[in-house]
Amino acid sequence: MNSFDDLFESAARFDKVGVTVTRIGLVVVLVWIGALKMYKYEDEGIVPFVANSPFMSFFYHQPAGEYRKHMNKEGELIPANQEWHEKNGTYPFAQGLGAVIVAYGAMITLHAASPRIAAVGSFLVFTMSFVTLSFLITTPECWVQPLGSPEHGFPLLSGAGRLVIKDAIMMGAALVTMADSAKAYLRSRNLMNQASGKQNETESSARELCAV
């Protein structure tokens, strides 16, 4: 029994390591996925989410329902479909979004140098994940479509839906890193205030001695 408890005590000491691994994981995912939006296949892949979202659909120029006729499969090249996406504004929007996502990852990497910026970056990722999870409500492609099989609709997540639901983990990870960065910022601020207070006390004592 003691050996079993020792294992739990060892596991309990991994909390700080866990936060670090969580932060690294967030940065890797954000920078990698954000950078992929420089490629057209990735830009086209997010069209169903954006076109059906009340928060994002206004970025596109074509009617929302038309995208279904112009979706390329990953690795497929149909010039006519890409021409439609160019007119739709698919690529500029996705590339701008990718730059924002990479910037969020970069902000989180500043935890050691500027925990305040890192905390803001984590909060922005939390907000972004909340928007992403809203796709489960707004995007029909998140659920298995009724194409003949009796297995379709809620709660049967499609490939797109399974991709979206993983942002629940991203949301939690962002809260963990936000709290950790906020604590680090508050600790550094308190240390600076203490140092400033001691300096003021020293200067005040020096002035009193001079006055005597």
Instruction: Tell me how crowded residue 160 is: count the other CB atoms within 10 A of its CB.
Output: 19
- pLDDT per position as a tens digit, 161-203: 999 999 999 999 999 999 999 999 998 877 777 766 666 555 5
pLDDT tens, residue by residue, 110-154: 999 999 999 999 999 999 999 999 999 999 999 999 999 999 999
Tokens representing 183 are 């604590």
Domain membership of residue 24 as a residue range: 17-186
Q: Residue 21 falls within a domain, yes or no?
A: yes
161 within domain boundaries: yes
pLDDT-based confidence at residue 10 (cuts at 50, 70, 90): confident
Burial class from Cβ neighbours inside 10 Å (0-12, 13-18, 19+) for residue 148 reads exposed
Q: How far apart (Å, rounded) are the C-alpha atoms in residues 142 and 46?
A: 12
Q: Which helix (H) or strand (E) holds 180?
A: helix 167-211
Neighbour count for residue 179 (Cβ, 10 Å) = 13
Number of CB atoms found within 10 A of residue 211's CB: 6
Is residue 205 in some structural domain?
no
Cα dihedral: 182, 188, 189, 195 (round 10): 170
Whether 90 has a pLDDT exceeding 90, the answer reads yes
Q: Considering the domain boundaries, does residue 71 fall inside one? A: yes
pTM: 0.84
Place of tokens 């905390």: 119
Mean pLDDT over 72-99 rounds to 94
- Total structural domains in the chain? 1
Q: CA–CA separation, 117 vs 107, rounded Å? A: 6
- Confirm if 150 and 108 have CB atoms less than 8 A apart: no
Q: Which residue has the tokens 């991994």?
A: 14
Split at pLDDT 50, 70, 90, the class of 46 is: very high
The average pLDDT across 14-23 equals: 92
Whether the bond between 54 and the residue before it is cis, its omega within 30 degrees of 0, is no
Lookup: tokens for 12? 């309990």
**197 located within any domain:** no
Domain membership of residue 196 (yes or no) is: no
Q: How far is CA 22 from CA 1, 7, 32, 67, in A?
A: 31, 22, 15, 36
15 vs 44: CA distance, rounded Å: 39
10 occurs within a structural domain: no
* 11 falls within a domain: no
For the chain, the first-to-last Cα distance in angstroms comes to: 69
Query: What Rg do the C-alpha atoms of the chain give, in angstroms?
Result: 25
Kindly state the tokens that stand for 150: 């009796």
